[in-house]
Amino acid sequence: MDDEKLIVIWETNKIEKPEFRLYYDEKGSVITYTCEKLEGDYILIDATTFAEARPDVRVVDGKLVRAGIGAVISRLYPNTEGTLCEAEDISIITEVHGLYRDWETDRKSVV
């Protein structure tokens, strides 16, 4: 055994670099940040953006757009989906159907 050389071969699986994904809806709003392969629209992002996981970003034309400094102004419009509010005062959110209206934010007109 003194004259024998032992050779040890370690085999391991190839480590794949993770794909950081941001899934978004049809308006460009964030659905989730994940490394999993899910159904839906997504863009690949870097590790720093993934770690930040900011909910206030948007995806426009396949690119990540961060909200600028200052106020964000958007227009509300009546819709069949969205947040159910009183017809006379949209600041009052309700779950009762009747004399109420659904309102949704128009992301295309965001200033």
* Mean pLDDT of the region 18-47: 93
Q: Is residue 1 part of a domain?
A: no
Select from 105, 21, 103 the least CA-distant residue to 59: 21
- 8 belongs to a structural domain: no
Mark whether 53 and 88 lie in a shared domain. no
State whether 79 and 105 are in the same domain. yes
| pTM of the full structure | 0.53
Looking at the structure, tell me whether residues 60 and 82 fall in a common domain.
no
Q: Is 85 inside any structural domain?
A: yes
The per-residue b/e assignment along 61-80, b for 16 or more CB within 10 angstroms, e otherwise, is eeebeeeeeeeeeeeeeeee
Domain span at 45 = 21-65
Q: Is residue 5 one of the residues assigned to a domain?
A: no
Alpha carbons within 13 angstroms on the beta-carbon side of residue 24 total: 24
Greater pLDDT, 47 or 16: 47
Same domain, 32 and 51: yes
pLDDT of 33 above 80 = yes
pLDDT digit string, tens, across residues 52-110 = 998 889 999 999 988 766 656 667 777 777 777 777 777 777 776 655 566 666 655 44
Per-residue pLDDT, 99:
55
Instruction: Please determine, for residue 13, whether its predicted confidence score (pLDDT) is greater than 90.
Output: no
Q: How many domains does the chain have?
A: 2
Residue 7 lies in a domain: no
Q: Which has the higher per-residue pLDDT, 30 or 74?
A: 30
User: Is residue 9 assigned to a domain?
Assistant: no
Pair (37, 56) in one structural domain: yes
Summarize the confidence of residues 3-24 as an average pLDDT.
Answer: 85
